[in-house]
Chain A
Amino acid sequence: MTELIDPTFYIKMYEQMLTIRSFEEKAIELFEHNLIRGNIHPCIGQEAVSVGVCLALRREDYMLNTHRGHGNCIAKGADLKRMMAELLGRSTGYCKGKGGSMHIADFEGGNLGANGIVGGGLPIAVGAGISIQNRGTDQVVACFFGDGAVNQGTFHESMNLAAIWKLPVIFICENNQYALSTPIQEAISIPKISDRALAYGIPGVTIDGNDVTEVYIQMRKAVERARSGKGPTLLDCVTYRFYGHFTGDPGRGITYRSKEEMEEWLRRCPIKRLREYLFREGLLSEEKEEEIQSHVKKSIEEAVRFAQESPFPNPEEATQDLFY
């Protein structure tokens, strides 16, 4: 992992995390101005997981995503313009306006889609793993899901199948500690989600999901294991979402989370942590930071402009794309 001694690698991580954060902040703003319809599930606070995981992937590797999936899309290399256009329901969006925030897919970039069904991605990841195995490539599948998904039947069936067939799948739990309003401690009766790996005879690791380097290192190990045909790994990345479950969640989830808890996690912000590290190690200067920030700002603004200038789809297009 020589990249870990390369300063530009850390700058890349930082820039990606900032991009995700800015994208989400902008999306919330657009939602509040009624330019985005439906609902969005912001991943602010969880950027380190998206970036740490996806930096260990190649473009041709696959990813399965969740309803809270903008960050993972961006980290996997999606085009911000087409993402924003999809959020605004435009014909230039990734799904031509059919999917929206919860259903962004980018098959060219290996992103097999975000899912509105909790636990919906896991069986698909197994299928992608079987396909890789049969085609004999060395791709891997990164399957994201939240802590809420670990009690769905699909979790169990998928983990077992991936284990018996030694599929190249990395199961990544974005453990933000709440399934909508239900705290993970009330939803499972074991201390760590990673202990579930015991039931399938595969490695399971619980990691600080707000430490992007740690996430990256563990993901790299899991990817190497998967690429070499040794089978799946379960990564439990403990993190926290700063916003509510969705944009309509009162007080960013104050009905089920204490103010103290939310403040405590704000202090553990993954971006702040990386920034402090970069300054401490002399890898980032204020000048460079400004440059990154303005670059990020520009790319988000461009995305918004592109989306707003794009036309809505023709109503009749609603009947297209159902069958091949």
Chain B
Amino acid sequence: MNLRELTNTEAMVEALKEEMTRDPSIFIIGEDLVAHGGIFGQFIGLPEAFPGRVIDTPISETCIVGAGLGAALTGMRPFVDLHFADFTTCAMDEIVNQVAKIRYMFGGQAKIPLVIWAPDGAGLSAAAHHSQSLEAWFIHTPGLKVVSPCFPYDVKGLIKTSIRSDDPIIFFMHKKIFSRKGPVPEEEYVIPLGKAEIKHPGTDVTIITYSIMVLHALEVAEEMEKEGIRVEVLDLRTLWPMDWERIAESVTKTHRVIIAHEACLTCGFGAEISARIQEELFDELDAPIFRVGAYRVPIPFSPPLERFVIPGKESLKKTIYNMFGKEIDSK
């Protein structure tokens, strides 16, 4: 396997390039794609490589998602860019009432090979309308699949799989990880949906997590090693379908669980995972399940406020200390 270092953005663009070359029914639609290369410049190069297949729209989110849906119903494979995960709210009817339900409501007649891609997450002082993590809403909506990887290898493999999927995918990428690099093979590969991966093996406690929190969890795992706590980091990568098998395996090994996400704690995905673990693996647990997530407030602008609201490395460490009855000061 020939590995090179790519950023998450490069990995995504490479996946799109390969897939668009392979399948002429794939096109990208959204605002500011052609001249600007996407709001974060994340699609630079694609408009030139695929003239006419990267389509700029007016600011009309309802119709951008709807246009993706209509095209998916009639033989195309659209990749919709929504600028920010926050703007899914402007197209909520399309996503929840139409995209998610049409196949089922019509008794399985339709297939919807549609990817809705949106950057999410806080940490850039982008304030309340440009910082949210909304994955739980969509996991809660039957008919959608939700993906949220954080390493270039996973991004590329999962973008390819999502594009090839005949079901609608909501694909979130944290905006703070775009330029983060990682090894990606030159050879063709895909990653199936619904497969979590252990990013750091351990035996004392499992951190079940995804997106940017995986990076924090990995740092914490390294640090904890020195203190004799061996942390296992399980990166879900796909949120729905959820890889229950991997979760159960890890819980059975470590008997202690922390679930971490940047989205607000209340009714976050952690609540679902936690409930399922206690229903099915109660006897495996040596400690209560702990969750790490944001306060239930909109994301504030000012850096000290924002840092306070969203969880990070420190929140994870505190939780581990708490779980193992260690004094926080001892760190």
Contact = CB atoms under 8 A, between A and B. Distances in A.
B32 A98 contact: no
A151 B308 contact: no
B325 interface: no
A319 B90 contact: no
B301 A98 contact: yes
Interface of B is mostly: loop
Interface residues of B, number: 40
A75 B130 CA distance: 26
Given A100-B127, A180-B36, A149 B307 contact: no
B60 A153 contact: yes
A188 B301 contact: no
Nearest to B37: A255
A188 B304 CA distance: 42
Which of A90, A95, A182, A188: most chain B CB closer than 10 A? A182
Interface string B4-23: 00000000000000000000
Contacts of A200: none
A315 B127 contact: no
B300 A179 contact: no
B3 to A, nearest CB: 31
Given A179-B59, A319-B297, A313 B128 contact: no
A9 interface: no
Contacts of A186: 56
B319 interface: no
Interface string A283-298: 0000000000000000
B60 A152 contact: yes
Nearest to A87: B301
Contacts of A100: 125, 127, 301-302
A89 interface: yes
Interface string A91-108: 001010111111100000
B83 to A, nearest CB: 9
A322 interface: yes
A317 interface: yes
B309 interface: yes
B311 to A, nearest CB: 13
A86 to B, nearest CB: 8
Contacts of A182: 31-32, 35, 56-59
Interface in A33-53: 37-39
Interface of A: 37-39, 86, 89-90, 93, 95, 97-103, 115-120, 148-149, 151-153, 179-182, 186-188, 255-256, 312-319, 322
28 contacts: A38-B301, A39-B125, A89-B304, A89-B305, A90-B302, A101-B301, A102-B129, A103-B301, A116-B86, A119-B90, A120-B129, A148-B58, A149-B59, A153-B62, A153-B63, A180-B32, A181-B32, A181-B34, A181-B36, A181-B56, A182-B58, A187-B58, A187-B59, A313-B305, A315-B304, A315-B308, A319-B295, A322-B298
Given A313-B302, A315-B307, 5 more contacts: A98-B305, A102-B129, A115-B129, A116-B130, A117-B90
